[in-house]
Structure 1
């Protein structure tokens, strides 16, 4: 089974970055799959504007955005669709953006021991991650279609089923980079 890391499609679509005027947004880098709703400070994002480009032809009609690989945002139109598909595996929280369309932070709660770390040093594991040649434990992934590794929890990983779900529902803005195989 192929495993993918979820990231932003920077080539086709504009994307969100933190609004540096709101210090609380930096907290998201430290999220590791814990339930946040009880003391969550609303994250604040804005569309990235490249000062080097006079004209940016990338599209603004995205449905999802991914800041780094572990901060997934989804628009209002697809919020319920994603919530119904993933139910108790995610928490959906409000965010502020500079767009008129409403977006939400998808906090992924599913953390599993999925990277095969057996008999591997930390440098071996990091080399697998850097080279997108990660060996994953299929038995631990089980029926999870989107998940975090319990140790490398800042990235969102997914299976073909999740990639197909996004494609079938025409959710635009994400890129799926194959990072390994679950055996």
Structure 2
């Protein structure tokens, strides 16, 4: 099975947290359920936040019509697509993006798993595998999951063809899928 890393499509505008504390709270999210403690974070388009003129100009030239965004270790999707992501290992939580953007949901992928096979690899070999986009994934641990996070590389979202196809069929814009490996 082919595995993809989910990344931001840089032809669309980026978002940024409205407050520094918003970013810090996401550092602790490592696959645990958040429903009981969730406070809706607020984001806005980077062009409205950045004081750097060249960055602001660059962002203004990008397309505004995104349906999904990847921001650090967070993955957002327009609320209108929530019904497509009612997966057993996904918790959908509200997120506000200002500047006229519709409401979004944070896809909190639950239960980070040991997905990448680092067995019999030293540090240098592990890094070489990751950089080469020839990552070995453990099929038994992934099972039927369509989207997942690895315990060791928690900041990245990985998915299968089924998840990627869901985006393509529904013409959801704002993310790209980079093929990074196969399951063993």
Identify the TM-score tier after normalising by the shorter chain.
0.7 to 0.9
The match for 2:34 is 36
Please show how residues 1-183 of structure 1 align to structure 2 within 5 Å: 1-10=1-10, 12-19=11-18, 21-49=19-47, 51-52=53-54, 54=57, 56-68=60-72, 70-83=73-86, 86=87, 88-100=88-100, 101-183=102-184
C-alpha distance after superposition, 1:44-69 (max 9, x if no partner): 2111126205363321111111112x
User: Scaled by the length of structure 1, what TM-score is found?
Assistant: 0.87
Runs of at least 4 residues off by over 6 Å: none
Q: Distance in 1 between matches of 2:96 and 2:163?
A: 26
Alpha-carbon displacement from aligned partner over 1:130-173 (angstroms, at most 9, x marks no partner): 33221111222121111111222221100111111110011111
State the secondary structure of the residue aligned to 1:153. coil
Structure 2, unpaired ranges of 5+:
none
**3-state SS of the aligned residue for 2:149?**
strand
Deviates more, 1:57-66 or 1:94-103: 94-103
The Cα offsets for residues 97-154 of structure 1, whole Å up to 9 and x where unpaired, read as 2133111111011422211111112343233223322111122212111111122222
Question: How far does residue 92 in structure 1 lie from its aligned partner after superposition?
Answer: 1.0
Cα RMSD (Å) of the superposition? 1.8
Cα deviation, residue 180, structure 1: 1.3
Q: Which moved more, 1:37-46 or 1:160-169?
A: 37-46
**TM superposition shift of 1:29:** 2.9
> Retained in 2: the 8 A contact 1:18–1:26?
no
Q: Which runs of 5+ in 1 are unaligned?
A: none
Residues 126 and 170 (structure 1), Cα distance of their counterparts in 2 relative to 1, 3 Å cut: same
> Residue 54 of structure 1 aligns to a residue in which SS?
helix
Aligned counterparts of 2:131 and 2:83: Cα–Cα separation in 1: 34
